[in-house]
């Protein structure tokens, strides 16, 4: 994934212009949830946990500044797709996710 999509200069520029990137290990959140319960974790953690894709060790989630899940993509599934336009497909996913907020306004 990194060498194809996240190594693409257009994708890097798009991410930097439109998103705050955050890397969280699903395993760490699962351990926190199991130890504290869902009500014991932060609101951001609850949104991330709520958007998990089953059995996906890595998800790309788009979350609004109001802590609403706008999109969730299991990257392992996405990485298995062989496409010459994978970087553009990823940017399209991000664009569709943030477009959700403009339709709700």
Q: Convert the pLDDT of each residue in 70-92 to its tens digit.
A: 988 887 777 666 667 788 888 88
Domain count, the chain: 1
Reported in sequence order, the residue ranges of 1-105 that DSSP labels E, i.e. its strands, are 59-63, 69-74
Does 83 fall in a domain? yes
Q: Convert the pLDDT of each residue in 2-61 to its tens digit.
A: 455 777 888 888 888 888 878 788 788 889 999 999 999 999 999 999 888 877 777 888
Does 105 fall in a domain? no
Does 40 fall in a domain? yes
- The verdict on pTM exceeding 0.85 is no
The per-residue DSSP string of 4-27 comes to IIIT-HHHHHHHHHH-------HH
What helix, strand, coil percent values describe the chain, rounded to 5? 60, 10, 30
Does 104 fall in a domain? no
- Domain extent, residue 36, equals 2-99
């Amino acid at each position: 994934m990194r060498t194809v999509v996240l190594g693409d200069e257009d994708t890097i520029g798009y991410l930097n212009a439109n998103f705050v990137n955050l890397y969280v290990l699903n395993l760490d959140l699962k351990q926190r949830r199991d130890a504290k319960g869902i009500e014991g974790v932060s609101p951001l953690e609850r949104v991330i946990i709520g958007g998990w894709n089953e059995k996906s060790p890595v998800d790309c989630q788009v979350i609004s500044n109001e802590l609403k899940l706008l999109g969730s993509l299991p990257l392992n599934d996405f990485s298995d797709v062989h496409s010459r336009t994978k970087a553009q497909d990823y940017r399209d996913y991000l664009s569709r996710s943030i477009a959700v907020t403009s339709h709700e306004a």
